[in-house]
Amino acid sequence: MSIVFVHGVPEAAAIWDPLRRELSRTDVITLSPPGFGAPVPEGFGATADDYLTWLIGELERIGGPIDLVGHDWGGAHVQRVAASRPDLLRSWCTDVAGISDPAYIWHDLARAWQTPGVGEAAVEEMFGAPFDDRVTGLVGFGMTAEAAQACAKAGGPEMARCILALYRSAADPLVFDWGVDLEPAARRPGLVINATEDQFVGGPEFGHRAAVRLDAKEAVLDGLGHWWMTQDPKRGAAALNDFYANLTLD
């Protein structure tokens, strides 16, 4: 049995470190998607489907059953694995379930990345900024200094290319479709992390509706934002510890 964590954009696995120290489990594995703290294999297109295939392959190598936890784009990948390969999982957890709500639209930065020309300029500005400025910006969003430094170090042209390819492969209707795919799936037990101040997922009502629609448990983290796992790792770990302590399978 393993608990496997997958992060998102524009991140590295260090975002999980504070949370890991608070978990009641030691069977922890962190996976870094290609381009986000891990090398990009030759020929890897960095589309949403490519990352789904990558994650399934990693989970098959680890062997199950697995408790799979995803943040940001990692959460979207988790949701798709739960829909398509529930045999690999004991449970799943995501903090972006709200993006599959029919009323959700991508946030402004995502829409910029999806726009030819505008996206290229945006990632050039992001990764062209001085290292210390990028660290300061990430800390301002809620990361620890340690996590921000790791994420800034991982950023560069390769990550920029992957960001553009990933977001451009996932227009608004597709993320809703991924939620629809999960609804009828022979899915495993799920947990929706609902950080109420996360402005990238549309608002807390989106996460709540998704939890109800997917018959998943919901952990409401009042006052926490997108990087809840670094802002209050004790509370985040408590939500996971409680979920696993009460997990039963049909």
The reply to whether 209 falls in a domain is yes
Q: Tell me what the mean pLDDT of segment 101-128 comes to.
A: 94
Q: What would the mean pLDDT of 56-73 be, rounded to a whole number?
A: 96
In a domain, 220, yes or no: yes
Give the model's confidence band at 40: pLDDT under 50 very low, under 70 low, under 90 confident, else very high.
very high
Q: What is the pLDDT of residues 153-188, one digit of tens each?
A: 999 999 999 999 999 999 876 777 787 788 777 789
- Find the distance separating the first CA and the last CA of the chain, reported in whole Å: 17
CATH number, position 194? 3.40.50.1820
* pLDDT at res. 250: 47
Domain around 78: 2-245
The verdict on residue 170 lying in a domain is yes
The reply to whether 116 falls in a domain is yes
Rounded Cα distance between 61 and 157, Å, is: 29
In a domain, 189, yes or no: yes
8-state DSSP, 34: B
Quote the tokens at residue 221. 């983290």
| pLDDT at residue 64 tops 60 | yes
Cis peptide before 130 (omega within 30 of 0): no
In a domain, 250, yes or no: no
Q: Is 241 exposed, middle or buried (0-12, 13-18, 19+ CB in 10 A)?
A: middle
Separation of alpha carbons 129 and 53, rounded Å: 32
pLDDT of residue 1: 86
Distance from C-alpha of 181 to C-alpha of 183, rounded to nearest angstrom: 6
Per-residue pLDDT at 173: 65
| pLDDT higher than 80, residue 82 | yes
Provide the percentage of residues in the chain whose pLDDT is more than 70.
99
Mean pLDDT, range 46-71, rounded to an integer: 96
Residues 1-23: what's their mean pLDDT?
96
- Rounded to 10 degrees, the C-alpha dihedral 106/231/144/175 comes to -20
pLDDT digits (tens, 9 = 90+) for 199-238: 899 999 999 999 999 999 999 999 999 999 999 999 999 9
The predicted model gives 99-121 an average pLDDT of 94
The number of distinct structural domains making up the chain is 1
